[in-house]
A = this chain, B = another copy of it.
Amino acid sequence: MQRTVDYTHGKMTMIDQTRIPAELVTVELSTPEQVADAIVKMKVRGAPAIGVAAALGVAIASRNSDASDKGQYLGEIERAAHMLRNTRPTAVNLFWGIDKMVCTAKAALHDGLSVPDVKQIVDECAASMIEEDEAVCRLIGAHGAELMPEEGHVLTHCNAGALACVSYGTALGVIRAAIEIGKRIHVYADETRPRLQGMKLTCFELLKDNIPVTVISDSMAGSLMRKGHVDCVIVGADRIAANGDVANKIGTYSVAVLAHHHGIPFYVAAPTSTIDYALKSGEDITIEERAHEEVTHIDGHRVAPVGVEVINPSFDVTPAALVTAIVTEKGIAHPPYKQSLR
Contacts and interface: CB of A to CB of B under 8 A. Distances in A.
Interface stretch (A11-19, A49-57, A207-215, A268-276): A207-215
A254 B254 contact: yes
Interface stretch (A96-104, A127-135, A294-302): A294-302
Tell me the interface secondary structure of chain A in the complex: mixed
Nearest to A194: B217
A330 interface: no
A156 interface: no
Contact of A254 (B250, B258, B260, B311): B258
- Interface size for chain A: under 10, 10 to 19, 20 to 34, or 35 or more residues? 35 or more
Interface in A163-213: 190-194, 196, 199-200, 203-204, 207, 212-213
A3 to B, nearest CB: 20
A228 to B, nearest CB: 13
Interface in A204-261: 204, 207, 212-223, 226, 250-251, 253-254, 257-258, 260-261
A199 B257 contact: no
Contacts of A199: 296, 303-305, 308
In the complex, the 5 A-B pairs of residues with the closest C-beta atoms, listed nearest first: A219-B251, A222-B254, A21-B305, A223-B316, A193-B217
